[in-house]
Each structure stands twice: as C-alpha cells, then as structure tokens.
C-alpha cells in the first residue's frame, strides 16, 4: 500500500478521514467538510456515540457542493494519542471496503500532531495492509483488498525524516511475514537464501552463504545432524551491515531457521504439523530486522546469521541416542530429534563468534512448546547472561509492543542436561523445558560475550488479528530488534 504526504486536502477527495482526539469532537475543525455539512456531521457523530477512543470510527455522508464521504477516526487521549492503533484501525475498516484511496485530514485537529506520531500512524496502516493472498485463486471480490493509497494531508515539518525509518521497518516486517507465511515447498534453506538475497539487493548488506560442504569442513556436526533426513540441503546465511565504518560488528543477531519441522525420527503428531512451516520464525525476524537496519542506514555494525535446515525423517536421519560433535568440539547425545533448534543454534553461534567476533549476541528461535505453556501468545521468553542486556531488550520490546518476559538461568538447571556418555544431552527432564533449552545454548557462548536468547515460539503466528496484523504471520521480533539496535548500538 502506498503512503503519500500532501499539503492540504484535495477538493475532489472521495473519502476524507478526520482524526478526532478522545472527547475532542467539539474541538474538531470541519474545514474539509464545508460549512453546510458541519451541523449535520456534528449531530450524526454525536448520535453515533462517537467519542474519539483510539481505533474507533464512524462514517458520515454530509451535503455540500457534493455529498462528501467522511470517516471520523478516534486517536485516543493524551498529547500523543494512540496513532498506531488508529492507523491500523483505519486500514482494517477500509482494506476490502471498495475504497481505493483515503485522505487523512490532519487539519481537523485543534492541536497538530508531531511528525513522529504521524509516522507511527502511517507505519501501522502499512503494516496492517500486508496480506499473503498469493495462492488464493477464488477469493470473492468482496474479500479482495481494494485500498491502494493512504494520503496524509497537512503533515508537520520533519515528516520525511520521521517516516524513513518507519517505512524501513515496515518493509522488514513484510519480508519476515512473507517468509513465515510461505509453505515449506516454496521456502526451504536454498530458496530462503535466494528470496532474502533478492529482497535486500541494493541495500548495502554483505552476504555470506555456507553450503553443506563448507559446513562439513568446519565441523558443524550438530547443525548437519538435523538436516540428514531431508533432500533439502542446509545453509548458513549471514547478512552484514557496516553502518559505523570498519571493524567487527558489535552485535550479532542469530536466528533458528528450521523451514519445516516434522520432529525427525521423534516425529510430531499429525494434527497441527502444518504449522511447522513457521519454525523458521527466528531466522525470519533476523533477516527482516537486518533489512530494516540497512534500509534506514543505521549507524551501527551488525551481523545477522541464520541457520537454515529442514528436519525430516528418512533412513539417513539422526536417531534418538546418536552422539554428534559440534563445531565447538563439544559432543551432544541427541535424545530427541524434535529438540533440533538448539542443535542448529549451537553451531551457528560458534561460527558467528569465530568469524565475526561480536561482543553481544542475541538469538531468536521458535524453540520450545514449553514456552507457549508458560506464556501463551502474549510474551516471548527472555534468557540472558547479562542483566543490563536483558533490561535493554525488555525496554525495546515494551516500547514496540513485542513484549518479553525474563526467565532464570542457573547451574542447577544446567546440570539437568549433563549426559552420561557425552558432554551434554539435547533435552532435560519434562520440567523447565524452555530453561534447559536455554542452558544448552549457553554452553556454546564464549567467555566474555554478552548473550540473550529469545524463545518466541508463541509469537510468530497468531490466530487472531491485532492493530497491525491480520491472522497469520505477525513479524514478531523485527521492531524489537530494530529498536534495540537504535537505542543501544548507534552513537
């Protein structure tokens, strides 16, 4: 969907959207309606009990030189209101309504909004408009998106500078959502790499790709053990952004990219297995964040690394009880082949440290069903070896609506994954499943490296719509990571 900014409302605008603050109907400036329609509009809005609550709206048809279609849109209370909620609500209402263009009249407000507020409004509208209808060949006309453009009239000074980073994040979100939504016969390790390469071309990102031959030479036995049962070859993808000049990246973002997870020999139940196309949501968030960071030309050195595999059962697949050797040299007894994400992350984190030498690593993974049991679909789980890092991520998540909740790490939990025949086993007892998974990953983090693990199993896909997404892929993690970089790694 296109966002335009113009100085004033055009006389021939088919639909005028008038933002209204909570309890601010009496202060509304009705210039774009025309004097003849003002009394009718005011009475109609009052009769509809419209009070300007964020995200609420009411439609009016008012007389003038011609009958004008007006939509009153609530932006909420306070100096800044809730412009994100309002932007999402506008598109929710109009996306399939038959409306092609909506013009938002900021001049209707007695107090002009800030450029940042308007940029948030435009971003929410853009994000809510994302759809993945590629394979729907018989979609009824009434269900097809018609809204092509949101034009914002009277935007304040500085809107271009405020909109640029929001637009970059929105494009990153769209990439993440598309990757997560695509079926596993379309997005698999090799095609994931090619899709990302095409979608980030021209942004200035350095790209490194490892194939299985290169991984075998490096000794990535942990990651490769997951891929053994699939005809799809594994890949490691690294995207490097040097926005602060020469030098090692200060931050590495690492994503689990299991493009489909059957569970391997420890096969999952059939019911719901189709959802496992989004088991690459961590990798999806990483590449979306890297597209956003590069798109807004962040003044930071960041690398995003994805371990991409497909976990399938066949005669060559890893068996429960097998012992594999990771790139770090540590050995792992694989008790459950459905605990595969940590095996991928182990080698990717080791390779990232040896190759890029980051001081901070944040990994993201749809890692454990236990996290959904703990937090449902409201928060991602956070584990960290550094309190300041944990606080930074919590703050970024809260600011952007990608909420996190911190869990403990301790030696007691760590002992639960000791193996009698190898350095460790890949699962612990039934209890504390998300914590022992984090403890497993922690064993591959070098001394002195700040590290955080985000278990986002309940967050990358939603069965209900929100202000900025429809049912399906959410893009969780992109805004969180972009804000985390902006607040803590840019000078």
> Catalytic: which of 342, 425, 450, 479?
342
Cα–Cα dist 399/395, whole Å = 6
**To the nearest whole percent, how much of the chain has pLDDT over 90?**
90
- Name the pTM for this structure: 0.96
Judge whether 268 counts as a catalytic residue: yes
Contact 321, 350 (CB under 8 A): no
CATH topology of domain 2-153: 3.40.220
Burial class (CB in 10 A: 0-12, 13-18, 19+), 137: exposed
Cα–Cα dist 476/463, whole Å = 14
pLDDT tier, 66 (very low <50, low <70, confident <90, very high otherwise): low
CA dihedral for 424, 429, 434, 439, sign (positive or negative): negative
- Quote the distance between the C-alpha of residue 227 and its chain's center: 26
pLDDT per residue as tens digits for the range 358-371: 999 999 999 999 99
> Catalytic: which of 195, 268, 297, 442?
268
Contact 457, 405 (CB under 8 A): no
- CATH code for residues 166-488: 3.40.630.10
pLDDT per residue as tens digits for the range 226-273: 999 999 999 999 999 999 999 999 999 999 999 999 999 999 999 999
- Nearest-Å Rg of the Cα atoms of the chain is 25
pLDDT per residue as tens digits for the range 381-394: 999 999 999 999 99
- Indicate the domain borders of the chain: 2-153, 166-488
pLDDT per residue as tens digits for the range 125-141: 999 999 999 999 999 99
Burial class (CB in 10 A: 0-12, 13-18, 19+), 210: buried
The mean pLDDT of 462-481, rounded to a whole number, is: 95
pLDDT per residue as tens digits for the range 293-351: 999 999 999 999 999 999 999 999 999 999 999 999 999 999 999 999 999 999 999 99
Structure-token pair, residue 335: 């008790």
Is 81 a residue whose pLDDT tops 90?
A: no
Among 39, 8, 22, smallest CA distance to 74 is for: 22
Residue 284: partners with Cβ closer than 8 Å, 6 or more residues away: 175, 176, 177, 179, 180, 255, 257, 278, 460
């Amino acid at each position: 969907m296109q966002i335009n900014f113009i100085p004033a409302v055009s006389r021939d605008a088919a639909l005028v959207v008038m933002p209204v603050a909570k309890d601010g109907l009496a202060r509304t400036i009705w210039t774009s309606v025309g004097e003849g329609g003002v009394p009718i509009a005011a009475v109609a809005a009052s009769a509809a009990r419209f009070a300007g609550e964020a995200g609420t709206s009411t439609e009016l048809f008012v007389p003038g030189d011609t009958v004008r279609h007006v939509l009153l849109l609530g932006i909420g209370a306070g100096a800044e209101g809730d412009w994100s909620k309002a932007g999402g609500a506008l598109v929710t209402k109009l996306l399939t309504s038959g409306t092609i263009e909506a013009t938002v009249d900021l001049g209707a407000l007695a107090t002009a909004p800030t450029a940042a507020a308007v940029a948030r409004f435009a971003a929410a509208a853009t994000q809510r408009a994302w759809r993945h209808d590629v394979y729907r060949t018989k979609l009824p006309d009434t269900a097809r998106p018609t809204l092509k453009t949101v034009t914002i009239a009277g935007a304040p000074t500085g809107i271009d500078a405020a909109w640029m980073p929001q637009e970059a994040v929105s494009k990153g979100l769209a990439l993440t959502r598309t990757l997560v939504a695509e079926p596993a016969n379309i997005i698999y390790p090799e095609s994931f790499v090619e899709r990302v390469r095409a979608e980030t071309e021209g942004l200035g990102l350095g790209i490194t790709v490892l194939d299985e031959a290169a991984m075998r030479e490096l000794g990535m036995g942990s990651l490769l053990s997951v891929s053994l049962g699939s005809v799809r070859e594994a890949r490691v993808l690294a995207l490097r952004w040097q926005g602060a000049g020469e030098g090692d990246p200060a931050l590495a973002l690492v994503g689990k990219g299991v493009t489909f997870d059957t569970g391997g020999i420890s096969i999952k139940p059939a019911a719901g297995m189709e959802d496992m196309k989004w088991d690459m949501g961590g990798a999806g968030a990483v590449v979306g964040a890297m597209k956003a960071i590069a798109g807004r030309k962040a003044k930071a050195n960041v690398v995003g690394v994805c371990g991409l595999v497909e976990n399938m059962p066949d005669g060559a697949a890893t068996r429960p009880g097998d012992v594999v050797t990771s790139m770090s040299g540590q050995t792992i007894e694989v008790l459950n082949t459905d605990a595969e994400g940590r095996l991928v992350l182990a080698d990717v984190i080791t390779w990232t440290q040896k190759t890029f030498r980051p001081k901070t690593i944040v990994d993201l993974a749809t890692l454990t069903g236990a996290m959904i049991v703990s937090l449902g679909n409201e928060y991602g789980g956070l584990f960290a070896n550094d309190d300041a890092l944990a606080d930074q991520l919590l703050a970024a998540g809260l600011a952007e609506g990608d909420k996190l909740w911190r869990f403990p790490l301790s030696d007691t939990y760590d002992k639960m994954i000791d193996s009698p025949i190898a350095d460790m086993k890949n699962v612990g007892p039934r209890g504390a499943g998300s914590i022992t998974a984090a403890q497993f990953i922690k064993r591959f983090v070098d001394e002195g490296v700040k590290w955080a693990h985000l278990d986002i199993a309940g967050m990358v896909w939603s069965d209900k719509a929100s202000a900025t997404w429809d049912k399906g892929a959410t893009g969780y993690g992109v805004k969180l990571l972009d804000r985390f970089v902006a607040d803590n790694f840019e000078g």
